[in-house]
Structure 1
Amino acid sequence: MNMERYSRQLLFSPIQAAGQKKLADSTALIVGVGALGTVISNHLVRAGVGKVRIVDRDYVELSNLQRQMLFDEADVNEALPKAIAAKRKLEKINSDVVIEAFIENVSNENVDRLTDDVDVVLDGTDNFSTRFLLNDICFKKNIPFSYGGVVSSRGMTALFIPNETPCLRCFTKEGSESGQTCDTVGVIAPAVDMISSMEVIEVLKYLTGNKQHLRHTLKTVDFWYNQHYDMKFSQADPQCPTCQKKEYPAIQKKAQNSETVLCGRNTVQIHRNQSWDLAKIDSQLAKIMKTKRTPFLVKAQMDNEKTFVIFPDGRVLVQGTEDITKARTLYDRYIGS
């Protein structure tokens, strides 16, 4: 490890050489490398966290570039999966750090594997179903969970630590979310940067052994209208199924339906339990559609409104509709089982 790289960080008295060594020996999992995740991963890699594991199911689109700081127009033109594009950028930033990239949809079928041997999990997702799953697996496996979410100019963040703090479910119940997303009400990039940075600051405190300086609040901020609120951690909800009853409902759920509406994306995701041969599916669809194949996916444009994006792990995004029946009909008609 080249300590000159971290010279300014080493001068910061709460970190110094001992803290830097702890960072180098740490592994962080970032779920979602979009707006939040690109900022988070950039900070952690530059700070010298030894291993950074990134997981994302999506690919880079033009609308991402306004706020997803690791991506550029070349990534859009190549239709690169976000995990791969982020890995390539991060490896250029710091060759000391091991970057692991997974193009996967995090579910209760793979979340245990993805969280193996990590010291902290950071939230870069865009939906609460995944956040509740991460919350549950972290509290089951005794891993700190850094929660963060941003929409419009508003953001929330907290670091939840098993056996020390309440968990996400103590503050937010399933089904109580507003339903607003960046794709329905927009978002400004500085709000994303601020919340992501707050996530990372708390994680750096934790990983370097400065737990006495942790904030211990659920912080809510509206950066446009200058509203700030800290909800102090109190006693956990005695009926909480995760941190108190240890039932972990998100993990115990049966496998979700193979069709999922991606909120605010005008997209339905269809997931089968077999992998796709990208060359074969490209050859099949190229006869009737305009296709583009990369090492990571096949993009097939059916018309001006509908597009298929096929990933080798068995997922297909049907873009241009939120109607599951219509998406399934198109899938069955053109792709098959």
Structure 2
Amino acid sequence: MTDIGRYSRQVLFQPIGREGQSLLRKARVAVVGMGALGTVLSSQLVRAGVGFIRLIDRDIIEPSNLQRQSLYDELDAEQGRAKAEVAAEKLRAANSDVEIEIAIEDVNSQNGERLLSDVDLVMDGTDNFEVRYLINDIAVKHNIPWSYGGAVSSYGTTAFFRPGQTPCLVCLFGLNQTGGGHDTCDTVGVIAPIVSIIASYQIAEALKYLTGNLHALSNSVTYLDVWKNEFRSVQFGLPKGACPCCHQHRFIALEGRTNGLTVSLCGRKTIQVRPTVGLGVSLMQMAQQLAKFGEVRHNPNLLRCDFGDTQLTLFADGRALFHGVEDEKTARNLYARYIGI
């Protein structure tokens, strides 16, 4: 299918036109998180003709995802496949002209720059502030714009950050947003409409930026609640002169040591264990080793073992998800017992 046929309605939109479409084809974008927001973000980017998209996600597909994560189906959930892998398959079927790369990884201070510093724009589809602060550090350090988006319950917030031109995340929220106290999908749920709306706002800003329509950017933090019919938009001020990140260039999230264990949010009782140092494992060898403990299935990207009350998903980088586990100590003990580290 020719570009003029595929993108004709988008090219007819005067602010984009042929020149803007050409710019989109040359653009490189990373999407961090292939959950609810990420599936909408990546689908719209691919269909718009962005030339290169990197899909980054650490997780697998489960039945509770299907209510709002639009690229997946029941068979994907039944098989417990990696989100980034399945999303890439579905998106390549939608637009084979776009180069799609996947990274089945947990974005952290050790791999963040490798995954995010070689693109023109980073799209936030995550569900936690720890990763967002890391994205913000990398964006400021490498002068890369990024789009923040968050949706939970019936409300959401989005903002488009441009280093040196707008405040950064630290300017707006300070350095203390990584702790508890925030609503999550686990605590208050989420409905699909707010996800689609927030992601679409993010894409609108992305299209403006990537096609050179900088004058049309909102330069604001936008909040809306689709259930209470609320909409607020607060214009950005100037970057803070004393900001530790964008003024002093102290990249605390990027330079800090990442924890070996993380509780996965927004979905179910799952705890992630990540080795504090890089660890490669042979999934085929681990499949043979774990077969004595439970039913094992594996592919080149991950291994799944069902122990009964607990299920393990193991990735080739040594990272593991323990499903049905709420206690961090238990997860560590299970990791030591079955993976042997």
Alignment TM-score > 0.5, same fold = yes
Measured after TM superposition, the shift of residue 3 of structure 1 is: 1.6
Measured after TM superposition, the shift of residue 2 of structure 1 is: 2.3
The correspondence of residues 178-327 of structure 1 with structure 2, limited to 5 A, is: 178-254=181-257, 256-263=258-265, 265-272=268-275, 273-304=278-309, 306-327=310-331
1:153 aligns to what?
Answer: 154
Letter in 1 for 2:207: L
2:340 aligns to what?
Answer: 336
Measured after TM superposition, the shift of residue 175 of structure 1 is: 3.4
Where does structure 2 lack aligned partners over 5 or more consecutive residues? none
Q: Percent identity?
A: 46
CA contact (8 A) 1:170 1:240 kept: yes
The whole-number CA distance in structure 2 between the counterparts of 1:263 and 1:49 is: 30
The whole-number CA distance in structure 2 between the counterparts of 1:295 and 1:274 is: 16
CA contact (8 A) 1:79 1:294 kept: no
SS of equivalent to 1:218: strand
CA contact (8 A) 2:165 2:239 kept: no
CA contact (8 A) 2:117 2:139 kept: no
CA offsets, 1:284-319, max 9 Å, x none?
Answer: 111121222223211112222x21111111101122
Letter in 2 for 1:5: R
The whole-number CA distance in structure 1 between the counterparts of 2:28 and 2:222 is: 25
1:79 aligns to what?
Answer: 80
CA contact (8 A) 2:283 2:303 kept: yes
Letter in 1 for 2:196: D
The whole-number CA distance in structure 1 between the counterparts of 2:338 and 2:54 is: 35
CA contact (8 A) 1:268 1:321 kept: yes
- Mean alpha-carbon deviation: is it higher for 209-218 or for 326-335? 326-335
Describe the shift of the 1:174–1:116 C-alpha distance in structure 2 as closer, same or farther (beyond 3 A).
Answer: closer
CA offsets, 1:113-148, max 9 Å, x none?
Answer: 112321100001111000000011001101001000
Measured after TM superposition, the shift of residue 279 of structure 1 is: 1.2
The whole-number CA distance in structure 1 between the counterparts of 2:265 and 2:60 is: 16
SS of equivalent to 2:66: helix
- Mean alpha-carbon deviation: is it higher for 78-87 or for 126-135? 78-87
Measured after TM superposition, the shift of residue 225 of structure 1 is: 0.4
Describe the shift of the 1:51–1:75 C-alpha distance in structure 2 as closer, same or farther (beyond 3 A).
Answer: same
The whole-number CA distance in structure 2 between the counterparts of 1:319 and 1:307 is: 5
The whole-number CA distance in structure 1 between the counterparts of 2:34 and 2:208 is: 22
- Mean alpha-carbon deviation: is it higher for 319-328 or for 201-210? 319-328
Letter in 1 for 2:139: C
- Mean alpha-carbon deviation: is it higher for 176-185 or for 57-66? 176-185
CA contact (8 A) 1:268 1:318 kept: yes
The whole-number CA distance in structure 1 between the counterparts of 2:338 and 2:318 is: 15
CA offsets, 1:216-253, max 9 Å, x none?
Answer: 10001111101111111012233321111111111111
TM-score, length of structure 1 as denominator length: 0.96
CA contact (8 A) 1:218 1:233 kept: yes
CA offsets, 1:131-188, max 9 Å, x none?
Answer: 0000110011010010000010110000000110001111223434632211221100
Aligned residues: CA RMSD? 1.3
The whole-number CA distance in structure 2 between the counterparts of 1:299 and 1:46 is: 32
